[in-house]
Copies of this chain bind each other. A is one copy, B any other.
Amino acid sequence: MKLESQTREKLLKAAKTEFMEKGYAKASLRSICKQADVTTGALYFFFQDKEDLFGSLVEEPLNQMHMYMKQHYMWELQELNNSPMDKCDFSEDSKTALMIVSYMFQFHDAFVLLLTKANGSKYENCTDEFVKLTEAHYRIFADRMSIYYKTDRVDDYTIHWLAHLQIFSFVQLITHNITREDAIKQMDTIVKFMISGWFGIYKQ
């Protein structure tokens, strides 16, 4: 773990403020440097360019989240394969959601930047990545349910939409100014709603 330079820290702090206020595209490096009481050159010593600066604020939480989700979904898949064919519930969903929300709140600002202020940067479509992961998982799960309930296969668009809906709901939780506790409470409602919704699709 490297000893963090004070200048670098000042820059990161100022950058966070600026990006939060104006979003990636409209943020001004000049303005960040001034706020950090640091020269332009200094910024370019610590960061390659604007994108790198933004990345320094969000990359790690983003990658971690990806990893967590992948691992979690892999584990759930195993569970599913090991369980008897007639077991087909959403019991794990609350836990998954709790994990995701918890992690998001741990790096609250990074995720706000990532999910609502990244327009113009290479992260602007980062939501899609989360959607893709979730989508893959939902695809498998949905097929399992189709077999179990003997219904038609749910089409890909619907799966995509459902995944997007799920991610969107998480995004909402950190976008709106609520506390971690309220978010978790709210998450319960979300999960309840989503599960009921899923069953609705399978019902005739």
| A169 on interface, CB distance cutoff 8 Å | yes
List A residues at the B interface (Cβ < 8 Å). Answer: 23, 25-26, 119-120, 157-158, 160-162, 164-165, 168-169, 172, 176, 178, 182, 186, 189-190, 192-201, 203
Whether A172 contacts B161 in the complex (CB less than 8 A), given A25-B120, A203-B196, comes out as yes
Number of identical protomers: 4
4 further contact pairs, Cβ within 8 A, besides A157-B186, A193-B198, A196-B203? A157-B178, A157-B182, A161-B190, A196-B199
Contact yes or no, A192 B186, CB < 8 A: no
Contact yes or no, A23 B119, CB < 8 A: yes
Contact yes or no, A186 B200, CB < 8 A: no
CA A199 to CA B198, docked complex, whole Å = 12
Can you pick out 7 interface pairs between chain A and chain B where the beta carbons lie within 8 Å of each other? A157-B176, A158-B186, A164-B172, A165-B165, A168-B168, A192-B201, A193-B198
CA A201 to CA B188, docked complex, whole Å = 10
A161 contacts across to B, CB distance below 8 A: 169, 172, 186, 189-190
CA A178 to CA B186, docked complex, whole Å = 32
Contact yes or no, A196 B200, CB < 8 A: yes
A190 contacts across to B, CB distance below 8 A: 161
Nearest CB on B from A5, distance (A): 15
